């Protein structure tokens, strides 16, 4: 028997909150990616790891906030805790691979394509593994074309978000990238849910696992606390707070030293005495010696 699916049992509350959670995780993660481009190489892995965990936690929290509004008429929905936690780990790892590729290779076409593809596949894998952890008295079936469309949405939007993040042009670029990342996650989620059909079993025992409310609400406390902690780190970082979005290593050429102007002395570039703070050297005037005439034989 075909089950009646309601993905908005709480109205617009769950989609709006889910989108905001995806944007929050994306904003923190992409901002950490931007920060990694402004530091020395020894600090870069830490910022990239923090960004990967923030994005992974954000998209995982978004998914299960949205799933709290999912219901099948007359059928209780439960979740397997092990698979639910595994979906969080998968999201962090796959997003981390994509973030590290872009963080170290820069805004090259190949790096963005590879990193965006892996990040988008991480979003999709998290979604469908989380759906595999759902337990109900029925069978889940997916439309292949719609599933492929959801994965494509995730890959394209994730690539665009990474491209905007590595431009290193200020806070507004990172904010726009986070909105795109949030759109990638929520668009992929609800497109994937549109591909779902539930065939309800007429008889059988109740599903195993924990009820959605009892399992999901406590599980989201950890990722939410981590997002708050990541937000504190980003906000109180002096370089990010000052908006000094200029790459020191990694991307792009280093800025050339500015010319030094001193009173009464024209601008000089590196290598000159004025640039080093020394007084200008005095040039010795060269006076050529008078020409010598032919030697006299008497002087010999």
Q: What is the 3-state secondary structure (H, E, C) of 185-209?
A: HHHHHHHHHHCEEEEECCCCCCCCC
Q: Mark out the alpha helices in the chain (DSSP H runs).
A: 13-36, 44-67, 81-105, 109-132, 144-165, 171-194, 212-219, 221-235, 238-241, 273-276
pLDDT reported for residue 228: 75
> Can you list the residues of the chain whose pLDDT is less than 50?
241-244, 246-255, 257, 260, 265, 267, 269, 275, 298-300
Distance between CA atoms of residues 78 and 221, nearest Å: 19
**Angle, vertex CA 270, rays to CA 264 and CA 271, nearest 5:** 95
Encoded tokens for 44:
């870069």
Q: In the chain, what's the furthest Cα-to-Cα distance?
A: 139
**What confidence score (pLDDT) does residue 230 get?**
67
pLDDT of residue 278: 55
Residues in a beta bridge with 2: 199
For the purposes of burial, counting CB atoms within 10 Å of the CB of 118, is it exposed (0-12), middle (13-18) or buried (19 or more)? buried
pTM of structure: 0.71
| Per-residue pLDDT at 145 | 94
Can you give the pLDDT at residue 201? 79
**Tell me, what's the pLDDT at 254?**
46
Residue whose pair of structure tokens reads 């990010």 in the numeric block: 240
Q: What is the pLDDT of residue 121?
A: 92
Six token digits for residue 67: 């799933």
Distance CA(236)–CA(229), nearest Å, equals 11
For the stretch 88-131, pLDDT in tens is 899 999 999 998 998 888 778 899 999 999 999 988 999 999 89
Q: Which residue has the tokens 């965006």?
A: 116
Query: Domain residue spans in the chain?
Result: 5-241, 253-283
The pLDDT value recorded for residue 293 is 58
């Amino acid at each position: 028997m075909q089950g009646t699916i309601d993905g908005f049992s709480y109205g617009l509350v769950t989609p709006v909150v889910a989108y905001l959670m995806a944007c929050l995780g994306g904003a923190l993660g992409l901002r950490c990616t931007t920060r990694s481009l402004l530091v020395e190489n020894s600090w870069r892995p830490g910022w990239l790891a923090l960004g990967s965990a923030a994005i992974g936690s954000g998209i995982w929290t978004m998914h299960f906030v949205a799933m709290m509004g999912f219901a099948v008429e007359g059928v209780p929905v439960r979740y397997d805790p092990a698979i639910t936690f595994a979906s969080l780990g998968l999201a962090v790892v796959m997003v981390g691979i994509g973030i590290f590729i872009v963080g170290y290779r820069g805004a090259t076409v190949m790096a963005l394509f590879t990193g965006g593809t892996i990040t988008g596949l991480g979003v999709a894998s998290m979604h469908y593994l989380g759906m595999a952890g759902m337990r109900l008295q029925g069978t889940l079936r997916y439309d292949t074309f719609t599933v492929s469309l959801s994965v494509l949405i995730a890959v394209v939007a994730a690539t665009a978000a990474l491209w905007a993040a590595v431009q290193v042009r200020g806070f507004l670029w990172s904010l726009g990238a986070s909105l795109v990342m949030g759109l990638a996650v929520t668009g992929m989620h609800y497109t994937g849910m549109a591909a779902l059909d539930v065939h309800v079993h007429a008889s059988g025992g109740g599903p195993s696992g924990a009820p959605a409310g009892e399992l999901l609400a406590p599980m989201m406390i950890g990722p939410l606390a981590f997002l708050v902690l990541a937000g504190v780190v980003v906000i109180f970082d002096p370089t990010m707070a000052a908006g000094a979005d200029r790459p020191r290593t990694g991307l792009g050429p280093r800025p050339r030293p500015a010319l030094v102007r001193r009173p009464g002395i024209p601008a000089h570039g590196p290598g000159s005495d004025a640039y080093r703070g020394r007084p200008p050297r005095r040039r010795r005037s060269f006076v050529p010696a008078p020409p010598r005439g032919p030697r006299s034989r008497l002087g010999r």
